[in-house]
Amino acid sequence: MTQSHPINKKINENAFEMIKLISFLLMTCLLAFGKTNANAKPTIYTIGDSTVKNGRGDGSGGLWGWGDPLVQFFDTSRVEVENHALGGTSSRTFRTKGLWQPVLERLQPGDYVLMQFGHNDAGPINDDFRARGTIKGVGDESEEIDNLLTGEHEVVHSYGWYLRQYIQEAKAKGAIPVVMSPIPRNSWKDGRVPRNDQSYGLWAKEVALAEGVEFINLNEKMASAMEKLGEAQVTGNLFFEHDHTHTSAKGAVLAAALIVEGLREAENCPLKDFLLENPTINFPEKKKVFLIGDSTVAGGSGEIVGWGRELPAFFDSSRVETINKARGGRSSRTFLYEGLWDELVPQLGRGDFVLMQFGHNDGGNIDKAKYRGSLRGTGNETQEVTREDGSKETVHTYGWYMKKYIADAQAKGAIPIVVSMIPRNRWKDGKVERASDSYGKWAREVAEQTGAFFIDLNEAVAAEYEAMGAEAVSAFFPDDHTHTNSAGALLNAKILAQQIARIKECPLRGAVSVSGQSH
């Protein structure tokens, strides 16, 4: 047996130690990677303009981008979908406004970036209004400007240059880009929808091919689908008559379905592995709007109509279902005492709404028939009442009952909206009598104390009545000074819808169609 030379032995020992060290470092990296990514899901990021995400993505005005329904086509137990598009942006301003950087910083290997730009790239390169245009084409031309809108010096590039930056930067992070051509506008000529295959659709395709990434010709796919339906079926269905660029919910679903079709056709895009085989598309998710209150809210009968009967006409019926649980003769007290509220609570779901208006009957008898009066104010005072049948009832303040409705709704994940009672047809010196020192005031206080939304319908309707004049308003009240006919109810419902639409933080505003024509 030969002995190894001492030098060789030392070399072997050093090599062995080096191998152990490398193995240790590799194992450490693998373990660290496993700890942080064992349960991580890839994320699909969508970037683009308002045809990808309209407004806040809440369907305001019935308009949606395709990035919102897209999530329903994917197995979300295996992949996340995040819509980062913003209306009004171009391939240029999505970068300059700082919208791309947060997405880029979050990108992980195996994530996806779906991009669609072009609708706004044709605008002016430099003006004091939007300054969002890009140089046409895919070349390396550039233009130096002093931006009239931002006041900053800027180098503006071509549409294709900006797309290349998104693609290359996403790739550098290990993400997988997918490029879409812009959806078509609802413009028709001789029974056909004009394509953009000689402009932004063409340039998007050229960039995708040059960069070796998937391209989905969404413009062609959707234009063809629209032509199969015909202009009469598209307008008012996939697009609304007043807007030829932004899709309705149905139009957004069609665009998303065509993107999915394109992903399935793609040969080298693993994103299709996350698609559901038979997705159930429920978009937009319909929420319930429950109404509680007295006869001025209830549907009514004959000539007497509450605003709750007319309110659904001012909502997008594809987004919300209005359920009127108001009942004539009830106060904030009796609606609870009679079990009407307890019947409703189990029906509430997360994201539903409860509009509540009480006050007209709360000033009635507390301890005599009809036993519907509540204590004044919003405090915790109580009064024990013995009813005609000998039973005992603890009566609370108007505010206490309202707070209970709010708390119960919030506990179910529903969104309460407190509405002050409509004014009575009572006038003094040319002014309508307000409830601003009583139930209107207490309704506001309750909303503020509980974090509920508040609408001062009492004030808004009174102001409208005064603008119309007492004689015109009298036609709304056929029998008394409290209850309206259908015309009065319609006016009150319209004013309420307008007030809801003005609350920027309220999700229900997106479902309001103040024109009274539901989509």
Rounded to an integer, what distance in angstroms lies between the CA atom of residue 15 and that of residue 80? 45
Give 247's DSSP letter. Answer: B
Q: 3-class DSSP state for residue 264?
A: helix
295, 331, 332, 438: the active-site residue: 295
Q: Mark whether 58 is an active-site residue.
A: no
Q: Which of 302, 186, 164, 341 is nearest to 255 (CA)?
A: 186
157, 246, 396, 483: the active-site residue: 483
Q: 3-class DSSP state for residue 300?
A: coil
Q: Which of 391, 399, 343, 345 is nearest to 371 (CA)?
A: 391
Rounded to an integer, what distance in angstroms lies between the CA atom of residue 147 and that of residue 294? 58
127, 140, 479, 480: the active-site residue: 480
Q: Mark whether 481 is an active-site residue.
A: no
Q: Kind and range of the H or E element at 144?
A: strand 142-146
Q: Mark whether 483 is an active-site residue.
A: yes
Return the beta strands (E) in 193-352 as ranges: 214-216, 287-293, 320-324
Helix axes 439-450, 398-411, angle to 10 degrees: 30
Phi, psi of 104 (to 5 degrees): -60, -40
Rounded to an integer, what distance in angstroms lies between the CA atom of residue 447 and that of residue 454? 6
* CA distances to 105, 157, 177, 497, 515 from 98, in Å: 12, 17, 19, 35, 36
Contact (CB, 8 A) for 402 and 420? no
Contact (CB, 8 A) for 81 and 113? no
Report, as residue numbers or ranges, the catalytic residues.
295, 480, 483
